[in-house]
Copies of this chain bind each other. A is one copy, B any other.
Amino acid sequence: MAGPSFKFGQHVLQASCVFFKSRLSIGFVNRKPVVPGHVLVSPLRVVERFGELSSEEVADLFMATQTISGVVEKHFQGTSLTMAIQDGPEAGQTVKHVHVHILPRRSGDFPQNDEVYEALAKHDKEMGEDARWRTEEEMAEEASVLAKYFNCQVDSS
């Protein structure tokens, strides 16, 4: 994987965290996964709201989501998937860049199935003692393992 970085809203995303790239979208690991294999998919273009995406971007984003979700479900031995978009601040969006959350699910991963959402809503807030964010090395390692499933070269061009 080459190339320095991608834009993810107001953040800079190291290319080492990106494991998938299509013409208009990227898939990347995240700093504070709610479950093992919780990854994100975004359009390459920095667009805040879902409604601002072009039809081409929408199609590419969700074909990427389909491809990636199949891989993370398999790799992390899930049996189901939770997929969610927080589109706008009142939906809990914190990064101003459209992104799809993909979470491999399995029986018993949360005491109550729907607690995943509570965890999801809290996952990118920096607070409390459980706010351990992963290092870039940890993230790069996971991205590198996932990248092997895809026949694509990730760079930031």
Contact = CB atoms under 8 A, between A and B. Distances in A.
Nearest to A117: B117
Interface stretch (A2-10, A55-63, A130-138, A142-150): A55-63
A89 to B, nearest CB: 6
Interface in A67-86: 69-70, 73, 78-86
Interface of A: 50-51, 53, 55, 58-59, 61-63, 66, 69-70, 73, 78-93, 103, 105-107, 109, 112-114, 116-118, 120-122
Given A51-B70, A91-B116, 10 more contacts: A51-B66, A58-B66, A61-B62, A80-B91, A80-B93, A84-B84, A90-B109, A91-B103, A112-B121, A117-B121
26 contacts: A50-B81, A51-B69, A55-B63, A58-B66, A59-B63, A69-B87, A78-B90, A79-B89, A81-B85, A81-B88, A82-B84, A82-B86, A83-B84, A83-B87, A90-B107, A90-B109, A91-B103, A91-B113, A92-B114, A114-B117, A114-B120, A114-B122, A116-B117, A117-B117, A117-B118, A118-B118
